[in-house]
Chain A
């Protein structure tokens, strides 16, 4: 999952210290894999270097956590582009897809956009598999079926997420 984009997405809600950002990330997306401080600060310094975030204020004292980071307009464009780009269809995407859906809602965008774009990308691959299945031998059919069922599982989960959006929207804003 792209930590940079996720941190940027969280910053869209308002400027934060690195520590805060780590906590927000861990709460929403890091249940079984919290971020290390090192990852947070190295990611933030890369974002800073690329002009996607800026330092919004520094408190007295030292250490990186004194800095407060804010997203720049280039950063917003970057998040926007990330949300609009489907993930490459492959198994076990749920972390990234979940992050995209949540961040789209947090920032007041339409989460369905993420779902529909991803469906289009998945279906494109599923059409190729279906086509190959119709031409192939039994082994080909079985292999394609396996892939098709896994891709379908992603989409079914996305659709369920979509139909729960109302509920989810309340939870993420709370």
Chain B
């Protein structure tokens, strides 16, 4: 075969995300757990419609950064701003409402409620937002079909394969139309083909509905679905600028 395979034209390669509004921004974030300094001045900026990969060694602070940006953890110092509102100043109740209405989450595993069926799991964010059962379940059914796991609607998560479960999780993260999806190793437990499916779903959501996706991954092939990457080392984030 040819090596390297033919490059794209510059028009094809252009990401097209420049100039979009900044959705989420973390500045100078510090966070300690007892004696462990997990974040030491990390920051990150995410725009609408953009997929940003967060990479770096194990224990470097990637998940902590994601949790601070998502309002799951409160940083010791620094600021997190979501569409102009500073999260660090909000009470817990507003933070959890924000997470429910504006954010979606996909983790490596164990995020679905085991007692509920897959359909009920996907409908859950809508139910919590006050949508009537019938409507919520109709929309959940549409989403399950869209991520190509309509056939597991009536099963509980424990009765599905890992790849199916992760697609259900993506449907649940996207069903309520979030502005930002936080994905921490979403493909970590999947084989290559299922990992690729999950990434396509996230990227398509980002490009079609302008969702910002923050993707923590240690897999370069998964990071290759992003528009750019941020590297975290020792609690400090950095973006590499290449010339040319």
Instruction: Give Cα A127 to B242, complex, Å.
Output: 14
In the complex formed, the residue of A with least CB distance to B227 is: A127
Q: A116-B231, A128-B13 are in contact. Are A123 and B224 (CB under 8 A)?
A: yes
Interface: A37 (CB within 8 A): no
Instruction: Give Cα A131 to B223, complex, Å.
Output: 12
Instruction: Give Cα A119 to B238, complex, Å.
Output: 13
**Additional A-B contact list (11), CB under 8 Å, known A119-B220, A126-B220, A152-B219:** A116-B231, A116-B240, A120-B240, A120-B241, A120-B242, A126-B224, A128-B7, A129-B224, A131-B12, A146-B1, A159-B218
Give the interface of A toward B (CB within 8 A).
86, 89-91, 112, 116-117, 119-132, 134, 143-144, 146-149, 151-152, 155-156, 159, 162-163
Write out the residue numbers on chain A whose beta carbons fall within 8 Å of the beta carbon of B40.
none
- B221 near A119: Cβ-Cβ < 8 Å: no
Task: Tell me the B215-244 residues at the A interface (CB within 8 Å).
Answer: 218-221, 223-227, 229, 231, 233, 238, 240-242
- B57 near A130: Cβ-Cβ < 8 Å: no
Interface size range on B against A: 20 to 34
Distance from B15 Cβ to chain A, minimum over Cβ atoms (Å): 9
In the complex formed, the residue of B with least CB distance to A162 is: B57
Distance from B26 Cβ to chain A, minimum over Cβ atoms (Å): 20
Write out the residue numbers on chain B whose beta carbons fall within 8 Å of the beta carbon of A132.
5, 8, 12
> CB < 8 Å: which of B225, B238, B242 contacts A130?
B225
- Chosen A-B contacts, 23 in total, with CB atoms closer than 8 Å, are A112-B233, A116-B238, A117-B240, A120-B242, A121-B242, A123-B229, A126-B223, A126-B224, A127-B13, A127-B225, A127-B226, A127-B227, A128-B7, A129-B224, A131-B13, A132-B5, A132-B12, A147-B3, A151-B220, A152-B220, A156-B220, A162-B57, A163-B58
Q: From A117, A120, A144, A156, name the one whose CB has the most chain B CB atoms within 10 angstroms.
A: A120
Instruction: Give Cα A121 to B242, complex, Å.
Output: 7
- A123 near B1: Cβ-Cβ < 8 Å: no
Interface: B87 (CB within 8 A): no
